[in-house]
Structure 1
Amino acid sequence: MTSFQHAKDLRADFPDLVAGVLAVTGVTPDADVTEPVAVHTTAALARLGTGPLAEFPEIQAWRRTFSRMGLKPTQYRCASEALLRRLSKEGSVARINALVDLCNAVSMAYAIPVAALDLDRVDGDLEVRYVDGTENYETFAGGTEHPDAGEVSFVDDAGRSHARRWTNRQSGYSAVRENTANVLIVAEALHPGAHADVERLVAALSTAIAATWGATPRTALLSTASPCFYL
């Protein structure tokens, strides 16, 4: 049985971290997510109208985390902030495929980064941890990079890095594509009230996935007290 978890030393450094996880089987490319994407995108736009993105507690927490990791937060942004900035400027974000579009819309609505990985492209256990720099990361263009030593990434048993700078950029290798059927979705937050917000996010995604694909995701909320999810 394979597992997903955050490394003990990472959790020790970020004790407020809450992660929501969903494992989904039976995803198909021909699904129509127009309605849930519209609902969550409208919610995101409404919230953007209430004040500056930089004042969102969810975004502030990730900016502090990036600064603590030695990254300039206005140069490297968590995925939800990047999406919301694009939405604020353009009024929409690019459509990719049904599941990714749904995850992006929910991520924007809750201002919490959401990663979706093709489980068939993950080798063994998956751990979010500090890397040593030998891990292999595949870009969306097909090139290979090695994350900087000390960077946080999702790493599997084969030493493959499935993200750069934690919640900044996913790998093209395990990105959800048209032929993806088995998916692990991870939402991570560190702001005050994160537990309740992540719980609502997971419920919203579960409801939309069940309505769209007829599949009931297995879900969990991970914390220091309950750190591991078995796939």
Structure 2
Amino acid sequence: MLEKIVVTDAVRALRPDFAVLAMAARGLVNGPGDAESRVWLTAAALEADPDDAHVLAWREAYRAFGAKPNRTRPSVDALLRRADKLPSISRVVDAYNAVSVEYALPIGGEDLDHYAGAAVLTVADGTETFGEDEPPVAGEVVWRDDIGVTCRRWNWRQGVRTRITEDTRDALFLLERLEPYPLERLHAAGEALATRLRAIAPDVEIEGRLIT
């Protein structure tokens, strides 16, 4: 699955500095948020920096494809602004939200059992579907699979169809980076996420691929 992930030329032309660390985790045992996952969120909030240079880079990227980042914020921007009030959702979601806040990094999570084909980051042509929600507009950067869009405006809003739930066993995580974010920090975030996933499910199998 990881080898088939595609970042199209249209996206590369928009942001040649884009890179994504894709991680597949198989054999997860999710469940409601617990004391440990809430500690992850609390500790991450202490590290939150809404003015991190990476947040500014994502705002610029949104403006480049016509989005207004003050209206539809990049996911990491939205998380950092409410880092001290993040609700506990589930153990796995808490894990990647905590890493996102601590490392000022957009992270998406997808349920592979509800995914169809490969993940593709592309520019929408306006004909795509987004479940029952409002579809993307032409020119918008989106993640999609063979059925339709899985996340609108790069990492702004995830679709319901592939959302991670308490029943999720196999998941895809997308850790997205723009300059000046160091690749070393990106890999460190991936290790931090893997550590938390193993705390949740010691037998989980994790593999990763850096796409630059």
TM-score, structure 2 length as denominator? 0.91
Stretches of structure 2 lacking an aligned partner (at least 5 in a row): none
Equivalences, count: 210
- Aligned partners of 2:30 and 2:200 also within 8 Å: no
Which residue is equivalent to 2:20?
19
Which residue is equivalent to 1:71?
67
Which residue is equivalent to 2:183?
195
SS of 2:210's equivalent in the other structure is: strand
Q: Deviations over 1:131-177 (max 9, x none)?
A: 11111112xxxx3322101111111123x100111111111111001
Q: CA deviation at 1:32?
A: 6.7
Which residue is equivalent to 1:221?
210
Paired residue type of 1:11:
R
- Aligned partners of 1:33 and 1:102 also within 8 Å: no
Paired residue type of 1:218:
E
SS of 2:108's equivalent in the other structure is: strand
Amino-acid identity (%):
31
Q: CA deviation at 1:124?
A: 1.0
Q: CA deviation at 1:33?
A: 6.0
SS of 1:144's equivalent in the other structure is: coil
- Aligned partners of 2:27 and 2:205 also within 8 Å: no
Paired residue type of 2:194:
S
- Aligned partners of 1:106 and 1:205 also within 8 Å: yes
Structure 2 CA distance, aligned partners of 1:72 and 1:32?
33
Structure 1 CA distance, aligned partners of 2:40 and 2:30?
20
- Aligned partners of 2:28 and 2:200 also within 8 Å: no
Q: CA deviation at 1:37?
A: 5.0
- Aligned partners of 2:109 and 2:164 also within 8 Å: yes
Structure 1, 163-172 or 204-213: larger mean CA deviation: 204-213
SS of 2:205's equivalent in the other structure is: coil
- Aligned partners of 1:152 and 1:164 also within 8 Å: yes
Q: CA deviation at 1:8?
A: 2.0
Which residue is equivalent to 1:149?
138
Structure 1 CA distance, aligned partners of 2:128 and 2:33?
36
Q: After TM superposition, what 4+ stretches of structure 1 lie above 3 angstroms from structure 2?
A: 30-37
- Aligned partners of 2:107 and 2:174 also within 8 Å: yes
TM-score, structure 1 length as denominator? 0.84
Which residue is equivalent to 1:132?
125
Q: CA deviation at 1:40?
A: 5.6
Q: Deviations over 1:94-121 (max 9, x none)?
A: 1111111111111000111100001111
Pair 170,32 (structure 1): closer, same or farther in 2 beyond 3 Å:
closer
**RMSD over equivalenced CA pairs, Å:** 1.9
**What is the 5 A alignment of 1:88-167?**
91-138=84-131, 143-158=132-147, 160-167=148-155
Q: CA deviation at 1:204?
A: 0.7
Q: CA deviation at 1:59?
A: 0.3
SS of 2:101's equivalent in the other structure is: helix
Which residue is equivalent to 1:227?
none
Q: CA deviation at 1:211?
A: 2.6
